[in-house]
């Protein structure tokens, strides 16, 4: 099988070449992202392998279909960059539902600790032999309340980590896991209660129409003064302009962002020699209490191995049996994992 691999980064190749060779899948690595302008590159391939910032919209899907390419293998969990309703009946969309929830949850805690203990400032100071402690006062996480929105794989690992720090958890999920709620240190609550009573809020839900800008001006208004916002999920969960205003007004005490609404043309690339066109991101980055990493939370050796292995297995399974448990399927407008392979 020949697969066109888009948005290739050097760290992608070793694991995909290893598992591809093992299972007879050949990858052609393109540095460019998949979009309407680059879709012609797929001529002669059996499928495409894409990541979070490739564009799989209706036009791209129609082009793939016309060229006989019926397999879109996402090497990530989220599929908000795929027009799922349009994909139904035209291309099979496969994903990697879980590769290392620990990678993302641990990165979230790394950002939180860096922020509240001012490690980013201390690191730069000590490089310059400045050993002053002025303005480095942090706060204990022990005893604080963390609001966790989305209690799936990553959210639950993050809750475990927070509990290890002695934090109390207020959880919100559209589909709660009742056994998680112990009525004491971990409680499911409505969103408003979570906003009002959390010292720290962390987002671990997918980006959907419902969750788009779940953190907006109104939500920030309800939060405690000094709230710390963590987003390692998807950029558009947060209205970045509202966040900036929240930071400027001192309502938001700190923000740690591994994702950003308009990240697709910026993140994963070296933009250090360019003028930053995005004024909101530029202003956020200048803030002493905002930490930005560029969609890095997944990036561990373990996660890269798991991503490559599952993606290759998905491709092989779909090619040989026309079904795959990791297919994302849209039935009645609701994306769900397809277990039947009888969709079209
Ligand atoms: P998951 O599917 O295991 O959990 C998502 C949870 O969100 C589920 O419990 C679901 O019920 C809940 N949810 C769905 N709609 C909701 C709504 N309207 N309001 C509240 N909760 C809702 O997914 P997982 O593996 O925990 O990943 C979570 C997110 O993390 C992914 O959607 C992805 O966007 C992001 N992610 C980020 C990475 C990074 O490198 N920064 C890497 C991997 C995932």
For the chain, domain boundaries: 2-99+301-337, 101-292
For the stretch 149-182, pLDDT in tens is 999 999 999 999 999 999 999 999 999 999 999 9
- Please say whether the beta carbons of 217 and 245 come within 8 A: yes
Report the pLDDT value the prediction gives residue 301, as an integer from 0 to 100: 95
Instruction: Return the structure tokens found at 326.
Output: 């990791």
Categorize the per-residue pLDDT at 263 as very low, low, confident or very high, splitting at 50, 70 and 90. Answer: confident
State the average pLDDT over residues 81-85: 93
- Cβ of 154 below 6 Å from ligand 1: yes
For atom 8 of ligand 1, the residue with the nearest CA is 152
C-alpha dihedral, 119 to 122 to 126 to 131, nearest 10°: -140
State the average pLDDT over residues 74-91: 92
- Cβ of 233 below 6 Å from ligand 1: yes
Could you tell which of 11, 51, 74, 77 is best to mutate to test the pocket of ligand 1, judged by most ligand atoms within 8 Å of the CB? Answer: 77
Query: Which numbered atom of ligand 1 lies nearest the CA of 299?
Result: 40
Query: Which numbered atom of ligand 1 lies nearest the CA of 155?
Result: 26
Q: Which CATH superfamily is domain 2-99+301-337 in?
A: NAD(P)-binding Rossmann-like Domain (3.40.50.720)
The rounded percent of the chain whose pLDDT value lies above 70 is 96
| Domain 2-99+301-337 matches domain 101-292 at the CATH topology level | yes
Report the pLDDT value the prediction gives residue 189, as an integer from 0 to 100: 98
- The residues carrying an active-site annotation are 234, 263, 295
Categorize the per-residue pLDDT at 335 as very low, low, confident or very high, splitting at 50, 70 and 90. Answer: low
Query: Which numbered atom of ligand 1 lies nearest the CA of 205?
Result: 7
Alpha-carbon distance of 326 to 76, in angstroms, equals 11
Asked whether the whole model's pTM tops 0.85, one would answer yes
Q: Which CATH architecture fits 101-292?
A: 3-Layer(aba) Sandwich (3.40)
Among 230, 222, 182, which residue's Cα sits nearest to residue 204? Answer: 230
Ligand 1 centroid to residue 150 C-alpha, Å = 6
For atom 35 of ligand 1, the residue with the nearest CA is 233
Among 28, 71, 70, 33, which residue's Cα sits nearest to residue 51? Answer: 33
Report the pLDDT value the prediction gives residue 262, as an integer from 0 to 100: 83
Q: Within 13 Å, how many C-alpha atoms sit on residue 121's CB side?
A: 17
State the average pLDDT over residues 210-236: 97
Ligand 1 centroid to residue 115 C-alpha, Å = 23
- Cβ of 111 below 6 Å from ligand 1: no
In three-state secondary structure terms, 14 is helix
């Amino acid at each position: 099988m020949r697969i066109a691999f888009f948005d290739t980064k050097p760290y992608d190749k070793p694991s995909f070449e290893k598992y591809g060779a093992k299972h007879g899948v050949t990858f052609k690595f393109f540095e460019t992202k998949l979009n309407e302008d680059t879709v012609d590159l797929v001529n002669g391939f059996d499928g495409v392998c894409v990541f979070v910032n490739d564009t799989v919209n209706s036009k791209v899907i129609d082009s793939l279909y016309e060229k006989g390419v019926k397999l879109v293998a996402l090497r990530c969990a989220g599929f908000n960059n795929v027009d799922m309703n349009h994909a139904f009946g035209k291309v099979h969309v496969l994903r990697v539902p879980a590769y290392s929830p620990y990678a993302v949850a641990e990165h979230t805690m790394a950002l939180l600790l860096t922020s509240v203990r001012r490690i980013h400032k201390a690191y730069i100071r000590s490089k310059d032999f400045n050993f002053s402690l002025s303005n480095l006062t942090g706060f204990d996480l022990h005893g604080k309340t963390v609001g966790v929105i989305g209690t799936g794989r990553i959210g639950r690992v993050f809750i475990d980590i927070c509990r290890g720090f002695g934090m109390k958890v207020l959880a919100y999920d559209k589909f709660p896991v009742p056994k998680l709620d112990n009525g004491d240190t971990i409680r499911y609550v409505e969103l408003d209660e979570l906003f009002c009573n959390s010292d720290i809020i962390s987002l671990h839900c997918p980006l959907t129409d419902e969750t788009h800008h779940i953190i907006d001006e109104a939500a920030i208004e309800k939060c405690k003064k000094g709230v710390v916002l963590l987003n390692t999920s998807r950029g558009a969960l947060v209205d970045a302009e509202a966040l900036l205003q929240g930071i400027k007004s001192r309502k938001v005490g700190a923000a740690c962002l591994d994702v950003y609404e308009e990240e697709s043309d910026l993140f994963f690339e070296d933009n250090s020699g360019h003028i930053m066109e995005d004024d909101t991101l530029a202003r956020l980055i200048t803030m002493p209490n905002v930490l930005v990493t560029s969609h890095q939370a997944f990036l561990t050796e373990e996660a890269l191995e798991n991503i490559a292995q599952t993606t290759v297995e998905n491709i092989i399974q779909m090619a040989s049996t026309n079904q795959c448990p990791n297919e994302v399927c849209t039935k009645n407008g609701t994306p769900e994992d397809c277990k039947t392979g009888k969709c079209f």
